Structure 1
Amino acid sequence: MDVEELIDDLIAREGGYVNHPVDRGGPTCWGITEQVARAQGYGGAMKAMPRETAAAIYRRLYWLRPGYDRVAALAPDVAAELFDTAVNMGPETATGFFQRALNALNRNGSDYADVAVDRRIGPKTLAALAAFVQVRGRSGEAVLLKALNALQGERYIALAESRPANEAFLYGWLAGRVG
């Protein structure tokens, strides 16, 4: 699945304009919060935000900027999961989950060196992923996805536990995951 398909699927799940009363993000359109839309230069009414504007924001902020296009060259399913997590939790959180999982799966450094959990995709993180894929193959990618899903799911539950109003979103958060 390429990034355009990922974005299309995401926008289909998110739908159009929403202003849920307990959503701290405020008004959204196509899943893009008003704060993000404004920061990216959109000045119109949120209800009228063009789908293409949302798609461009997703591509720029949640795919290209964090470097998931480079991850996709090595492990496309992992890149898709990182994209989905980045949209919901931020690219830094998604990338931190990714680096933590790579470190935990390197068999105490025997497959590749630990990477700093700096929440950025750089040459060392990509080298660790390449080594992981070389050692573990396609089945390794499925295991890495399980680790990412576990970290994401735990975070969602913690958010619901720490703020009961978030329980309104928990089912959808868990159901909407890519993996």
Structure 2
Amino acid sequence: MPSVQTIAEEIVAREGGFVNDPADPGGATNYGVTIHTMRRLGLDLDRDGDVDVLDVRALSRAQAVEIFIRHYFTRARIDLLPQALQASVFDMQVNAGANAIKILQRLLAGFQEPVAVDGALGPKTAAAAHRAYEKAGDYLVDAYG
């Protein structure tokens, strides 16, 4: 299985560079990182006192990779999951936010695992994921696995 770093780099490569499409509700985006995320994280890269389109444009590929690892993998506690599931849940977390964990929890409930569908990846969801993976094995593994 690829490392978290490699997965994040693949996500960034797939997301591409700077885009500011007025029809996109995500707003200005660079390497998959939206202006809304940058504002939430306080990433004023040009140090002019606000986070705006210029900051999004200034975001480097390496910074985007770090944001995804720190805020979408580590902070989301995806490392608690079986290693074979981490890549797909990480990728979903980048694209769907906390809904990724809810999707996982709904899947686990389908495996008759007692989990709350609350979008929080804690010890109960992690334990349920490990039990489901032990039962289903490669059935739960995606293309990263």
TM norm. shorter chain > 0.5: yes
Q: Which structure: greater helix fraction?
A: 1
In the other structure, the counterpart of 2:12 is: 11
| Structure 1 residue 50: Cα displacement | 1.7
CA separation in 1, counterparts of 2:38 and 2:101? 22
Q: Deviations along 1:28-60, whole A, 9 cap, x unmatched?
A: 111101121122232132212122221121111
Residue 57 (structure 1) aligns with: 67
Q: CA shift at 1:140, angstroms?
A: 3.3
User: Which of 1 and 2 has higher RCO (CA within 8 Å, sep 6+)?
Assistant: 2
Identity, in percent, stands at: 34
Amino acid at match of 1:139: D
User: What residue is the counterpart of 1:81 in the other structure?
Assistant: 88
Q: For residue 11 of structure 1, what is the amino acid of its counterpart?
A: V
Question: 1:15: Cα distance to partner?
Answer: 1.2
State whether structure 2 residue 48 is matched by structure 1 residue 42: no
Give the CA deviation at 1:178. Answer: 6.8
Secondary structure of the equivalent of 2:133? helix
TM-score (norm 1): 0.69
Q: Is the 8 A contact 1:75 1:133 kept in 2?
A: no
SS, match of residue 17 in structure 1: coil
Aligned-pair RMSD on alpha carbons? 1.9
- Equivalent position of 1:21 in the other structure: 22
The CA distance in 2 between the partners of 1:35 and 1:178, in whole Å, is 28
Q: Distance in 2 between matches of 1:24 and 1:141?
A: 32
State how many pairs are aligned.
135
- 1:104 is matched with 110
1:169 alignment partner in structure 2: none
Describe the SS at the equivalent of 1:139: helix
Q: Residues 28 and 34 of structure 1 are in contact (CA less than 8 Å); yes or no, is this contact kept in structure 2?
A: yes
2-side partners of 1:178 and 1:61: how far apart? 20
Q: Which runs of 5+ in 1 are unaligned?
A: 107-112, 146-176
C-alpha separation in 2, matches of 1:47 and 1:116: 39
Structure 1 runs, 4 residues or longer, greater than 3 Å off: none
Q: 1:128-158 CA distances to partner (integer Å, 9 max, x unpaired)? A: 112112223x33323xx5xxxxxxxxxxxxx
Quick one: distance in 2 between partners of 1:121 and 1:10? Answer: 21
